[in-house]
Structure 1
Amino acid sequence: MSVNTNLLGRALLRNRGRVASGSLLIGVHQGCEALVPILIGVIVDRAVATRDLCMLAVWVSALGALYLLLTVAYRTGARQLMRAIADEAHRLRLEVAAKVLDPRTEVRTGDVLTISTTDADTTSYLLDYLPRLFGALVATAISATGLFLISVPLGLVVLIGIPVVLIGLQRAAPRIIRRVIARQEVAGRAASLATDLVTGLRPLRGIGAQEAAARRYREVSRESLGATMRAAKTLGWFQAASDTVSTLVACGIAILAGWFALTGRISAGELVTVIGLAAFLGEPFATLSAAPGWFASSRASAQRIEAILGRVPAGVPAGDNPIPPVRGECVGVVAEPDASALVALFDDGSPDVLVAPHLPELFSGTIRDNLIDAEGDELPAVLRASAADDVVAAHPDGLDHAIADRGAALSGGQRQRLALARALLARPRLLVLHEPTTAVDAVTEHAIARGIRDLRHGPGSTLGTLLVTTSPALLAITDRVVVLRDGEVVATGTHASLAATDDDYRTAVLR
């Protein structure tokens, strides 16, 4: 189903069975809750006032059966709704993950974190809000009917008061949506920045920039705190207003009932019923008055999810690959504006093609484990070509040095060099490297460039290498360079000739 502005409607549609049965059972539960004070009033008038033990036993048994029914209905209904909420949140997380895992889609890490957790949960809570609203309406209708049977003015207080309260509170919904969206946006930026800082902590320390980075994070964190406080303040005022109005309505019903009892217009049992219903009505009143705020939060989170799911990935070059697979040749590619789209074209699972992504992934284990085939005769040459021999030599355990999940304890440059060594060890017929040296220093980058050339393109080699990069050090060792702009080949030649004659190439590459 295509993404549109009806993400909440889609959630309801694909969970309609559980939501319908859960709503029915929650409605039964709330209806039984409303009947409890009515039944107690009947017991007072027909059994206690008349001192009829048989009637007392009958009505107390009925009250016990009512409690059993409301308990079973609530447990069963709540179980159905919790399953629906969990399943829907899981589906939304999978959809967000599928979108952000597309290499052509640019999404901040912090946005992914908040949207796939907080927003997915808040959106799925709609499946609980509607049954609760339905139950509140059932309880209110039964209570209003009971009050009407006792006294028409008491019933009118409920029927007139509720619509007035709901209309007034609904006016606050747009402000709640705006502030919740603002809070989540800033929280996403803060989480994204924190992730970047943790990932790049060692390089930041190396260049002495950790204090500036920490200062920037403090600024974003304070901004996030301010947005959170504003959203909380709005929700707090809304909740306080709804609770106050609910309490005032319940108190008004109780006071009016007390007056009617003193003037003899209602019996003692009816007074007990009215007081009980007035106390009970605080719950459905609170639900009805808070519902606009709940739905506003769900809509705000749904809008953020839709913004991610509705993103159109950067366009891929039309037709066949503009760069044919190379054999025995080292080709450089400068792709604008999005090199990821080009790289994705080669990632088709072919056994002859290996794509090494820009962001390398290491797994927990040893350096030897991450290199996969770390026992062959080519290992020393590969480690030298990728400059990964320095990474191995930096640790007393050498190849047996333990690596944390995703290489968290290594610098970005160390991770890139180990990932490059792993790709070179595989010796694919065509190796596609996407910006493999962005985290290393200039001296190391030149050494890696020469190492790739010597290892894969010696005399008589039939191996092909595609370097998708803007690094002049890497482009300088290629046989030719192809410049792509919006999927079209706009220039070809050697790095030296393009640098000398093409102003746009110089702007993109020379730095």
Structure 2
Amino acid sequence: MSTGQLLRRAVRRHRGRMSLGVLLMSLHQATEAAVPVTIGVFVDKAVATGDVEPLIWCVLMLAALFAVLSNAWKLGARLIVRAIEYETHQLRLEIARRVLDPRGQRTGLRSGELLSIATSDAEKTALVMRAVSIGCAASTALIVASVSLLLVDVPLGIGVLIGVPLLVLGIQALSPLLTRHTSTQQEAVAQTTALATDLVGGLRTLRGIGAQHNAAARYRQSSQTTLRATLRAVSTAGLQDGVSTALSGLLLAAVAGVSGWFALNGRISIGELIAVVGLAQFIAEPVGTLGYASQVLATARASAGRLASVLSSPPLVATGTATAVDPAKPLLQLERVSYKTLVDVDLTLLAGETVGVLCYDPRDADALLAVVGGRASEYTGAVRVGGVPIDELDIDALRDTVLLEQHDTDLFEGTLRSNLLVESPSLERVMTAAGAADLIDELDRPLADRGQALSGGQRQRLGLARALLASPPLLVLHDPSTAVDAVTEELLAEGLAEVRSGLTTLVLTSSPALLGKMDRVVVLADGVVVTEGLHAELAESDAAYQEAVLR
């Protein structure tokens, strides 16, 4: 999706509100342009003649004009603002959906930059509807004013019709520069936001190694860069405002001077002079509005470009359309898989089997998790889930079959119960099996974002309980007991074996308590499967295994 397509789509999918809103705002501008004409007619037909009846009609006409003018603006602006807010919300949902896509995305942007795009850029992109609406309304005002001037005096009207387009073109000449500066500013804001997000997330670590001063200096430098970019963008916008105001003022002075000369020579009446001067003064407003619309459009275009880059980014991994797996085939099968540090790995999990994997190198565990979870790209070999190649399996079918519980647990603001996501009659049994029996009485306890009030062990056990409640056909766990003590670890191992009995489980761990409950243990060293067997047998015969596991 290109920048232009994104902007056009924003207007198109709110065309109902936009059409009515533009119509009402154009009506407002047309009636506002008609006010000085009506006053001119009022002077010639009522004031100059002293007749009462024309005076009454002129007063009624002015009252009607102002009633239409006021209500048209109020209703039209309300429709446009509502369209802008709905579009902003929809764009944020699209960005969130794209960022949370389990297939990943190739934008290369950090979480803070994506946050800036989902908030600031989405809001600014939706302002294209404001630019379109006020631009159309201003154009309507200029057309009505120009036609009125032509009816008063043709050369005068032609002069305005020539001068206004030249004026608009002069204002538009600064738009590309403003777009570039605005885009640079938005990128700088996103980078500073990303840096701030990273620093806040790693604040404890930074304090632990005494690097908070270096981090503050780095953020200060990024903030100064953002400030300079913002000042450039604001200066360009200010220059455009100044040029717009100056040129519209010169146009007003020229029209007023010529019309005054015509009035002195008797070419136009006093009422027509008032109408012309009023129109010339009024013209400055829509011309200025066109300049402002140009600024808004430039800002929207810059932000839309950043949005389009995210929405159009290809997924990291490809997925297919198969929606069913063969229950008679192995639930998970890796054949000569090579990916990152993995080299020709063979691994097969049958239905109901519990397998432990010990990786001497943590990089091997990360690579294996990426392959099993369908997040690996450009690997060699074959990966099958229920006999179906993993890249041919529909992403929803893959997630229904394989649940990957990472070492780091994601928790959300709410309560412990809402973070479990599943209400089940076996809730207490599963909580106990996950070593989280101490949290059963606190399920309705408020929970801060990321579960900051919980200890590392509590977060880990709550994540494990959530995975067990989901009861997937294949559960993949990565170090589920690193943040608990030895006693809890033993209880957790026994509970896991009980709850997952008859279901397929793959556990990447070095915990002897967990490995002792596995049907078999596969050992990876330097990305290669070096041995496999029962935990007890390996602990007796393999010195490297003993060193890695027994503690």
TM-score by length of 2: 0.73
Count of residues in correspondence between the two structures? 473
> Residues 278 and 175 from structure 1, CA distance in 2 versus in 1: closer, same or farther, beyond 3 angstroms?
same
Which residue of the partner structure matches residue 85 of structure 2? Answer: 86
Q: Do the aligned residues in 2 keep the contact of 1:28 with 1:70 (CA within 8 Å)? A: yes
Q: What's the CA shift for 1:455? A: 5.8
* Cα distance between partner residues in 1 of 2:502 and 2:268: 101
Q: What's the CA shift for 1:352? A: 7.8
- Check if 1:272 corresponds to 2:274: yes
- Check if 1:236 corresponds to 2:261: no
When structure 1 is superposed on structure 2, of 355-364 and 57-66 the one drifting more is: 355-364
Which residue of the partner structure matches residue 198 of structure 1? Answer: 200
> Residues 125 and 425 from structure 1, CA distance in 2 versus in 1: closer, same or farther, beyond 3 angstroms?
closer
> Residues 434 and 22 from structure 1, CA distance in 2 versus in 1: closer, same or farther, beyond 3 angstroms?
farther
RMSD: 4.1
Which residue of the partner structure matches residue 356 of structure 1? Answer: 405
Which residue of the partner structure matches residue 328 of structure 1? Answer: 353
Among 321, 330, 341, the alignment partner of 2:374 is: 341
Q: Do the aligned residues in 1 keep the contact of 2:433 with 2:494 (CA within 8 Å)? A: no
> Residues 235 and 21 from structure 1, CA distance in 2 versus in 1: closer, same or farther, beyond 3 angstroms?
same
Q: What's the CA shift for 1:424? A: 5.8
Q: Do the aligned residues in 2 keep the contact of 1:111 with 1:188 (CA within 8 Å)? A: yes
Which residue of the partner structure matches residue 545 of structure 2? Answer: none
> Residues 335 and 225 from structure 1, CA distance in 2 versus in 1: closer, same or farther, beyond 3 angstroms?
same
Q: Do the aligned residues in 1 keep the contact of 2:244 with 2:291 (CA within 8 Å)? A: yes
SS in 1 for 2:506: strand
Among 157, 163, 166, the alignment partner of 1:164 is: 166
Which residue of the partner structure matches residue 521 of structure 2? Answer: 479
Q: What's the CA shift for 1:265? A: 3.0
> Residues 135 and 193 from structure 1, CA distance in 2 versus in 1: closer, same or farther, beyond 3 angstroms?
same
Among 449, 463, 467, the alignment partner of 1:405 is: 449
Q: Percent identity?
A: 41
Cα shift readout 1:65-120 (whole Å, capped 9, x = no counterpart): 12222223222322322222222222211111110111332552222322222222
SS in 1 for 2:146: helix
Q: Do the aligned residues in 1 keep the contact of 2:404 with 2:477 (CA within 8 Å)? A: yes
Q: Do the aligned residues in 1 keep the contact of 2:434 with 2:495 (CA within 8 Å)? A: yes
Code of the residue aligned with 1:139 in structure 2: it is A
* Cα distance between partner residues in 2 of 1:454 and 1:282: 80
- Check if 1:97 corresponds to 2:107: no
Which residue of the partner structure matches residue 300 of structure 2? Answer: 298
Code of the residue aligned with 2:198 in structure 1: it is D
Q: What's the CA shift for 1:322? A: 4.8
Which residue of the partner structure matches residue 43 of structure 2? Answer: 44
> Residues 260 and 408 from structure 1, CA distance in 2 versus in 1: closer, same or farther, beyond 3 angstroms?
farther
> Residues 199 and 163 from structure 1, CA distance in 2 versus in 1: closer, same or farther, beyond 3 angstroms?
same
Q: Do the aligned residues in 1 keep the contact of 2:434 with 2:462 (CA within 8 Å)? A: no
SS in 1 for 2:177: helix
* Cα distance between partner residues in 2 of 1:482 and 1:316: 27
- Check if 1:180 corresponds to 2:222: no
Code of the residue aligned with 2:405 in structure 1: it is A
After TM superposition, list the pairs within 5 Å mapping 1:455-474 onto structure 2.
456=496, 462=502, 464-467=504-507
Which residue of the partner structure matches residue 254 of structure 1? Answer: 256
Cα shift readout 1:135-167 (whole Å, capped 9, x = no counterpart): 211211121122223233432332111221222
* Cα distance between partner residues in 2 of 1:92 and 1:355: 29
Q: Do the aligned residues in 2 keep the contact of 1:200 with 1:412 (CA within 8 Å)? A: no
Cα shift readout 1:404-443 (whole Å, capped 9, x = no counterpart): 2331345777644542465468776642235768xx79xx
Which residue of the partner structure matches residue 385 of structure 2? Answer: none
Which residue of the partner structure matches residue 214 of structure 1? Answer: 216
- Check if 1:431 corresponds to 2:433: no
Q: Do the aligned residues in 1 keep the contact of 2:127 with 2:297 (CA within 8 Å)? A: no
Which residue of the partner structure matches residue 549 of structure 2? Answer: none
Cα shift readout 1:154-196 (whole Å, capped 9, x = no counterpart): 3233211122122223222222222211111121122222223
* Cα distance between partner residues in 2 of 1:208 and 1:415: 27
Code of the residue aligned with 1:31 in structure 2: it is A
Q: What's the CA shift for 1:41? A: 0.4
* Cα distance between partner residues in 2 of 1:170 and 1:138: 18
Code of the residue aligned with 2:505 in structure 1: it is T
Code of the residue aligned with 2:477 in structure 1: it is L
After TM superposition, list the pairs within 5 Å mapping 1:360-509 onto structure 2.
360-364=409-413, 376=428, 382-383=434-435, 403-409=447-453, 415-416=459-460, 418-420=462-464, 422-423=466-467, 430-433=474-477, 456=496, 462=502, 464-467=504-507, 479-480=521-522, 492-494=529-531
> Residues 129 and 215 from structure 1, CA distance in 2 versus in 1: closer, same or farther, beyond 3 angstroms?
same
Which residue of the partner structure matches residue 14 of structure 1? Answer: 13
> Residues 253 and 205 from structure 1, CA distance in 2 versus in 1: closer, same or farther, beyond 3 angstroms?
same
SS in 1 for 2:367: strand
Q: Do the aligned residues in 2 keep the contact of 1:105 with 1:311 (CA within 8 Å)? A: no
Q: Do the aligned residues in 1 keep the contact of 2:112 with 2:198 (CA within 8 Å)? A: no
Q: What's the CA shift for 1:35? A: 0.7
Q: What's the CA shift for 1:210? A: 3.1
Cα shift readout 1:342-363 (whole Å, capped 9, x = no counterpart): 4997875988864324652324
SS in 2 for 1:6: helix
* Cα distance between partner residues in 1 of 2:433 and 2:247: 78
Q: Do the aligned residues in 2 keep the contact of 1:314 with 1:341 (CA within 8 Å)? A: no
Which residue of the partner structure matches residue 381 of structure 2? Answer: none
* Cα distance between partner residues in 2 of 1:413 and 1:40: 79
Which residue of the partner structure matches residue 64 of structure 2? Answer: 65
> Residues 381 and 95 from structure 1, CA distance in 2 versus in 1: closer, same or farther, beyond 3 angstroms?
closer
Q: What's the CA shift for 1:461? A: 6.0
* Cα distance between partner residues in 1 of 2:175 and 2:13: 26
Which residue of the partner structure matches residue 505 of structure 1? Answer: none
Q: What's the CA shift for 1:209? A: 3.5
SS in 2 for 1:335: helix
Q: Do the aligned residues in 1 keep the contact of 2:417 with 2:444 (CA within 8 Å)? A: yes
* Cα distance between partner residues in 1 of 2:429 and 2:15: 62
> Residues 254 and 121 from structure 1, CA distance in 2 versus in 1: closer, same or farther, beyond 3 angstroms?
same
Q: What's the CA shift for 1:364? A: 4.7
TM-score by length of 1: 0.78
Cα shift readout 1:266-325 (whole Å, capped 9, x = no counterpart): 222112112211221111111223333222211111111111101111114778865565
Q: Which runs of 5 or more residues in structure 2 are unaligned?
A: 326-331, 335-347, 358-364, 377-389, 534-551
* Cα distance between partner residues in 2 of 1:368 and 1:61: 66
Which residue of the partner structure matches residue 154 of structure 1? Answer: 156
Q: Do the aligned residues in 1 keep the contact of 2:3 with 2:304 (CA within 8 Å)? A: no
SS in 2 for 1:355: strand
When structure 1 is superposed on structure 2, of 309-318 and 62-71 the one drifting more is: 309-318
Code of the residue aligned with 1:355 in structure 2: it is L
SS in 2 for 1:55: helix
Q: Do the aligned residues in 2 keep the contact of 1:431 with 1:466 (CA within 8 Å)? A: yes
Which residue of the partner structure matches residue 27 of structure 1? Answer: 26
* Cα distance between partner residues in 1 of 2:78 and 2:530: 67
Q: Do the aligned residues in 2 keep the contact of 1:109 with 1:192 (CA within 8 Å)? A: yes
Q: What's the CA shift for 1:399? A: 9.1
Q: What's the CA shift for 1:52? A: 0.9
